[in-house]
Amino acid sequence: MKTDTENRDGKTRIGMLVFPMVTSLDVLGPFEVLARAPDCQAELVWKNREPVKGDTGLVITPDRGFDDAPQYDVIVVPGGPGQTPLMEDATVIDFLRRQGAGAELVTSVCTGSLLLAAAGLLDGRKATCHWMSIDQLALFGVQAVPERVVVDGNRITGAGVTSGLDFAFTVLATLRGEEPAKALQLMMEYDPAPPFQSGHPRVAAPELVEKVRASAREMLQRRMEVSRRVAANRGGLAR
Amino acid sequence: MKTDTENRDGKTRIGMLVFPMVTSLDVLGPFEVLARAPDCQAELVWKNREPVKGDTGLVITPDRGFDDAPQYDVIVVPGGPGQTPLMEDATVIDFLRRQGAGAELVTSVCTGSLLLAAAGLLDGRKATCHWMSIDQLALFGVQAVPERVVVDGNRITGAGVTSGLDFAFTVLATLRGEEPAKALQLMMEYDPAPPFQSGHPRVAAPELVEKVRASAREMLQRRMEVSRRVAANRGGLAR
């Protein structure tokens, strides 16, 4: 990892992780905001620059490989089905630990918070996660807070998928103040009007909540198995 | 253009236009929804399959070229700075006319409605557009309705950028009914909570509205020049 501070142009460097089977909108929603943020340089980063496919089949092309990445000022970690195996991927966990140690802001969207947790970057912190997986945060000693965006010091976490927009405007306001965030909300016409009130278990029909949870059961079980194993191994490490 | 109905697998085919300097979220927000829609096949389509760069520099890889595209059941046209030159691009306008003539739903997000209008697909219809460009719809004989999502028969148009999510759940409900749309809103945790009330001129500070409009002035002027020229030429054609 280059820290090449001599090449810095004064811009805030924002590194946004991508990976196979990422939920694309977890990262591309925030990218749309942060790539437009004044005096910021947002880029997509993965092990190498080979394109990866998100969980809808979308081809995502990384801007940068891990070996070529600078120390980022802001690190953003998205989630999705592909997050589960990465909790046991030493290259990814090592990258996140090194970045997390030097970044001004350490952030995530959706189940990205479980990756941060697996890397030991949320120990004792408040954080959020996708509503179906937020229970897994406690395995890592994280205080789960079921809100849309949770700020705890320099940790900012967003809940499921579309929360990435609310998250990104919060990150932008943290970096640059409210004025640029409000201007960009206006430019991006971010004045949402969901056609249905069904975007969270608090407001959705209970039987629909059970149906959606049931449709994800296998994925959730695999994630829980890995979270338990990783959390147990972390507990046994001298850290 | 192949219509290969004999190869149909019963899925609703959704073709989503991409192009250089597209506003990525205009198309990738709706893609995230429609690619997950039951019994649908959503894909990104452009002149050819060479990757294009959106207006934030994001690399977007088309799934399909125009020559290889089937007749889509739903056509989705996004906007962004790159929409302006396409209003005078005969290949694109011809593609949209042919698709629009056969599609069940003809739709757009952001300034994509100006492309549909330039292709003659919104004549006399109600439609919306990004708030900064919605005034240009009238040049094409379209009834501009400054709402977030406008449905007029089989035309569904969304307003600026982030409206693509509200738009996409509306399209999904139109195609498959409310239940799958509500289930997907829940899966994608679409229960937005913008950090600021600044996402539309109705709610933003008037001085901020002027500032944002001023920052886009050149782009808006270029777009207006092209819209005027295209509308004038269309008026002169026997159609």
User: Region A195-205: what's the mean pLDDT?
Assistant: 96
Confidence of residue B8 (pLDDT cuts 50, 70, 90): low
User: Region B155-184: what's the mean pLDDT?
Assistant: 98
Q: Which residues pair with B15 in a beta bridge?
A: B43, B75
* A29 contact residues in B (CB cutoff 8 A): 25, 29
Please tell me the predicted confidence (pLDDT) of residue A92. Answer: 98
* B160 contact residues in A (CB cutoff 8 A): 187-189
Please tell me the predicted confidence (pLDDT) of residue B9. Answer: 79
pLDDT tens digits along B185-199: 999 999 999 999 999
Weakest mean pLDDT among B1-15, B151-165, B218-232: B1-15
* A158 contact residues in B (CB cutoff 8 A): none
Q: Which helix (H) or strand (E) holds B211?
A: helix B206-215
Residue of B23, B186, B200 with shortest CB distance to A212: B186
Residue of B169, B170, B193 with shortest CB distance to A166: B193
Whether B199 and A190 lie within 8 Å, measured CB to CB: yes
pLDDT tens digits along A98-118: 999 999 999 999 999 999 999
Q: Is the pLDDT of residue B65 over 50?
A: yes
pTM confidence score: 0.95
- On whether the CB atoms of residues A200 and B174 are closer than 8 A, the answer is no
Confidence of residue B6 (pLDDT cuts 50, 70, 90): very low
* B25 contact residues in A (CB cutoff 8 A): 28-29, 32, 188
Which SS3 state, helix, strand or coil, does residue A167 take? helix
Please tell me the predicted confidence (pLDDT) of residue B235. Answer: 64
Whether B198 and A189 lie within 8 Å, measured CB to CB: no
User: Region B146-162: what's the mean pLDDT?
Assistant: 98
A-to-B residue pairs, Cβ atoms closer than 8 angstroms: 204
Work out the mean pLDDT of chain A and round it to a whole number.
95
pLDDT tens digits along B110-136: 999 999 999 999 999 999 999 999 999
Confidence of residue A9 (pLDDT cuts 50, 70, 90): confident
Closest CA to B79 of B55, B121, B107, B111: B111
Q: Is the pLDDT of residue A67 over 80?
A: yes
Which SS3 state, helix, strand or coil, does residue A16 take? strand
Q: Which helix (H) or strand (E) holds B111?
A: none
Q: What is the ipTM of this complex?
A: 0.94
Whether B161 and A56 lie within 8 Å, measured CB to CB: no
Whether B29 and A24 lie within 8 Å, measured CB to CB: no
Q: Whats the size of chain A, residue-wise?
A: 239
Please tell me the predicted confidence (pLDDT) of residue B1. Answer: 39
Instruction: For residues B83 and A68, give the distance between their C-alpha atoms in angstroms, rounded to a whole number.
Output: 34
Confidence of residue A8 (pLDDT cuts 50, 70, 90): low
Neighbour-count burial of B185, counting CB atoms closer than 10 A to its CB (0-12 exposed, 13-18 middle, 19+ buried): buried
Which SS3 state, helix, strand or coil, does residue A77 take? strand
pLDDT tens digits along B82-95: 999 999 999 999 99
